[in-house]
Structures are given as C-alpha cells and as structure tokens.
A and B are shown apart, each in its own frame.
Chain A
Amino acid sequence: MSAPANPFAPRHGSLRRAETAVAWAFRSATYFILLCGGFVFGNICLKGLPTVTGAFRGLDHFPYVTNTFLFEAPESLYVFEHDGKKVEMGDAEYRAFREAETARAAAEGLPAPKFKAKSYVYASGGIWPCIVGTVLLVVGSMTIALLLGVASAIYLSEYAREGPFVRFIRLAILNLAGVPSIVFGLFGFAMFVLYFDWNVSLLAGWFTLAFMVLPVVITASEEALKAVPRGFREGSLALGATKWQTIRKNVLPYALPGILTSSILGIARVAGETAPIMFTAAYVVRDKLPWEVEKFGDFVFQGVMALPYHIYVVSSKIPQNEYTQRVQYGTAFVFLGIVALIAGSSILLRNKLRGRYQW
C-alpha cells in the first residue's frame, strides 16, 4: 500500500529541542566571554594606540627617530593659552618656553608675560622607566622562581618518598597558590624590606614576586616531570647512570617544555601584579634609570617604576580628563604589548624544545 514506516524517524521532538538549546547555551557563553574580552582589549588598543603612534619624533642623530611615549620619562603636562591658541607642553619644554618668552619680553622692553597654565601630572612624556622596571622585575623574579621551583619540583617528584609529609608539603604549596597577592606583598614587605633591611628594592620585589608564582611553577614542573615516561628513567639507571645523571640528561630536558609552559603563565602574573610590588619594589616616580647607580652593588637595592603600578597611579591618583586619558590608555596598551611579547617568545622557545624532544 505504501512504503514501510521509517524506523529511524525522529520521535522525541522535545528532546531534540533541548539538545539544540543546550548546545546554544554553551556556545553563547563562550561567545559572550569572547565579546567581553574583545571589547576590553579593543577599547584599550583603540584608545592606547594613538598615544604610541602619535609620539614618534624625528631626531638629528642616530637612530633618527624616537618615540617619546616609549622612550622618555613621565613629565607633567602644561596646558595654556598663547596668542589665542591652546598650547600643550611637557614640563621641560614649558620651562624653556617660559624663559624664552620672558627674555624676549625683556629685550623688547615689555612687561614680563604672565603664564596661566593648567598642569596635569604624568600626562606628558613617556613610560620608559616603567618598561625598564617591569622587564627587570619579570626577568629577576622568574629566574629565582624557576631555580627554586624546579629544584623543589625535582625533589618532590624524583627524590622524596611518598608519604603523609610529602602530601602535606604538596597541599601547602597548592594552598599557597590561592593566597591573595596583597598578602604576598605584605609578607615581602615584612620579610625582605623590613626584616632583611633591603628597603624598597629590586631584590625585595624579585623575591616577593617569585614566592607568589612559586606554587604555580612547582606544581606545573612536577606535572611535567611526572609526564616523562618511567621507561626513560629505568633505561638510564639500567645503563649504570646515577640518579642525578638520569634526571639531568634523561628527564629534565624532556620536561623543559612543560616547565616553560608554566613559566609563561607565571610571567603574565609577575608582570601584571601590582599589590606585591607596591610595598616592596615600586616607586611612584623615580628620575634615575636603574643603570644610573653610583656603585654596581647598589643595582639590586634600588626601587624601580613598574608598568602595573604606573597604571594604578595614573588611573586612580590623577584626575580623569582628555589629557590624562592618553597616558592611561597608552600605558595599558604598551603593557599588554610587552606581556604578549614576553609570553610569545617563551611560547616560541617552548615549541622549539617540544619539536626537539618528542615521544
């Protein structure tokens, strides 16, 4: 009479609708996050990029072009009217201008001109000392964190005998990862700045930041070491290698990509945290660059300016207006760029290592 009924025909209409709805719920959650992230980053890039691109200046000597925003120290911005026009000048330029105008007026026998300028602190010049400080903080603290962290991960994963004590240590380390960064800041202040008497210094900041990322580094390094197959260790030991020879030649090299992955996360955290350095290493403003110390030994005992702290200062300690907005967004934009740059190069290094050792 007719074709046989299709046994595979969809039956539960409501079930199928629920399937679709659930899939869409997950999808939209992901896209929502993406949208928020895109909005924030887009906003920073859109408003911050002109600050950087608008700061290129020609030079009459090598390298013939510079970027005042990237490579100069912050200055106050002076805004005033001159000859009926609105003029904006940085601190140094404004002083020179004022002197020149006064001298010109004196030469022409006119009364000394009056300047009524509004000043906006930090709104002119650049963020070079902050960039230098942040890079120094990241490099130093990651070195300390990796040395200490990998050493203790090797101990926990290769040497320590499993037992309640080691489990306790591991639990303590994991808990350390959840401690708020301001607590690390206060710990560093009490321990390094006051007790060790290092003052507000690079060294204190390095150790404070290193302690903050240590839990992440240790946990991830241990995982990376555990991921190296047992056979490599046994094979090496069966050839008459000692334990340390085995670890150094036949375990650690293969775990390195994993360890670097963890340190990439660490870099982003170290570079971005404000709270741990605000008591230990960061200055609001410092007119000397770190290498302009009198004795080389003082290098690690000086405080520095740092990008995250500078962002905190310019976004909360100075008025918000069209003049200060440039430096606020510009700093955030450069900061994102630098973190991306450091993380990017670590990723490249990791991929290179990963290509070398595969099993």
Chain B
Amino acid sequence: MNAPASSHRPFVARRLDWLRENLFSTPLNALITLVTLALLLWLGSRFVSWALLHAVWGRADVATCNALFGQGACWAVVADKWRHMLFGIYPQDEQWRSALAVVIFCGIMVFSAMRAFWHVWRLLALWLSGSLLCAWLLAGGLGLTPVPTALWGGLPITLMLAVFGTLFAFPLGILLALGRRSALPIIRAASIIYIELVRGVPLITVLFMASIMFALFLPEGVSFDKLLRAQVAIILFNAAYIAEIVRAGLQALPRGQYEAADALGLGYWQTQLLVILPQALKITIPAQVNSFIDNFKDTSLVIIVSIFDFLYAVRQAVISDLDWRHYFVEGYLFAMAVYWLFCYAMSHYSQWLEKHLSRDHRL
C-alpha cells in the first residue's frame, strides 16, 4: 500500500505524504481524523489537567486535596496509604517479607519467560522453590515471626493466588486433557463432565462453594484455612481451562507423531511424556500465557468472599479512612495501573512469543 519511500525527497514532503496517506486519504478519512482528534484533545486535555497539572503530588494532608477537589487528582492518598494498599494489614515491622515475596513472585514470572528455563525440571525447580520460599516468608516459622493467614494481604496474595493457581492447576489440566482424548469411555466421560461443568459456571459461584459450603463435605473437625480454600477453588477452576488449551495443542499435532511413537514400541505414558506432551505444550505456550493473564485478573474476585487481595486492600485503605474516602478514584486508578502493568507486560510477551515461535516452526 505504502508508496515507495524516495529517500532523496525532502523530509517535510515525506511527512506530508505520510499524513495524506494515513490521515487524509479520502474526505471520509479526513472527517474521521478531525473528529477523533477533537475528541482526543478535549478528553486528553481535561484528563491531563486533572491528573497531572492540578494534581496534588507527594505527601500532603487532606485539606490540601479538599481545596482542589474536582479540579485536580489527589495522589497524596496513594502516598499516604501505599503500604496499606500493597500489603494490607500484614504487621508493619514484617512488611519487608511481603515485599520480598512480591519480588520473588515477579522473579518466578520473569525467569519463566526466559527460554533458558524452558525445561521441565528447571521450570519445576524454579516454581517450586520460589513458591516455597514465598510461603515461608509470608507464614513465618523457622526463625521468622509466624503471621496467621488472617493478616496476609495485598499484592502478595494476588500474586500467590495467581502463581499457585497455575502451578498446581497445570498437572491436573494435563491429566484432564489427556483424559478427554482418551479412548477409554469412562475416563473420557469423567474428564468431559468435569471440564464442561467447571467452565459452565462463574468463578464466583465456585468461590462461594469453597468459602461457604465446602467445609460441610469434610469429616467433622477437619477444616481448611479460608485462604487455602479459595486457592484450591482457583486451582480446580483453572485446571479446566488449562485442560482445554492443552487439548488444542494435542489436537494440533499430526497423527504421524503418534504412529512414530507406536512404531518405536513406546507405551501410552512413554508416548505422551516423551513425544507428544513436550511438543503439544510448546505450541500452547502463548495460549498458556494468556490464560495466566486471565487467571491473574480473576484473582480479584476473591474480594467477594472477603479475602484480602490487592484490590480489597486498596478499597479498604481508601474507603475505610473517612478523610480520604472521596479519593477512591485515585485509589482505583492506582490499582488499575498496577494490574495493567502486570497484564500489559505479560500480554506483550505472549504476542512476541507467538511471532517468535511461529518463526521457529518455519525453520
């Protein structure tokens, strides 16, 4: 479509060409451009003036913000409350542990994104050791002051729910996917029923079930921690979605792979573990990353069963303090920014990966 760029033409002329090409190619196009531009300028200028120019930055008291209410954003609420927003009511002296746990969780994700780590054992070692370290940091014991789970909160909880929710859902998801493609009718039926049942209901109802009704199915006296129940619910929920992704990967493999494995005399599990799964999982990596993003966003629903995740902590920090209560928009925008940062980074990684992997395939 683009006209061949003639490098010897003057810069200004080239710019004008670009403008004509991209913004004013037809009268309709020009109209669209102008309307969009006007809208953008109007909204953008209002937002910039509110969020940047007239905003209250840094630590400031409520009176300063109240004086500017409606004209400028009050970022002082974040400056004043950031500890509560990030770590909830975790004991203040011990909050370095929460912070460290966040760093480790992020580390797990960053390292998993590196191809050097794409080996089953390395990944497993990374995720397991990282998770255990975080669990120790948050829970305490072994030299650290124990902190009951009722006090855990904030960003570490969100990350924990997402990371553990994937780590443990993964093996279950693979089993379910294999089960769904199995030739054995009962195993297939059981897998299908589980997958479709879970995918047919909203996560909230599963969380309700875990937090309200699950305990009645256990023998008298056995009880799980509330946080743990939510975690288990998220794991079981994710497993069904992961299973469908893995199934897509399995279906994409040509039959020849199975036949070749058969010809080598490999049994079912050998075929799956050595030949099929490594390939199928590799194809599905971008989809897995996307499902991790969904899972990460979905953890925010635990707010409904009053588990102290990041969103809950932000909401509580702002709403429960009556001085700052009016500045909930700033609080929510802060939460949005944090969630967005995580999800945007991951989704771009997944897009990059998709291109990268498909290039590999062609080689």
* Pairing of A with B: no
Q: Which residues of B contact A (CB under 8 A)?
A: none
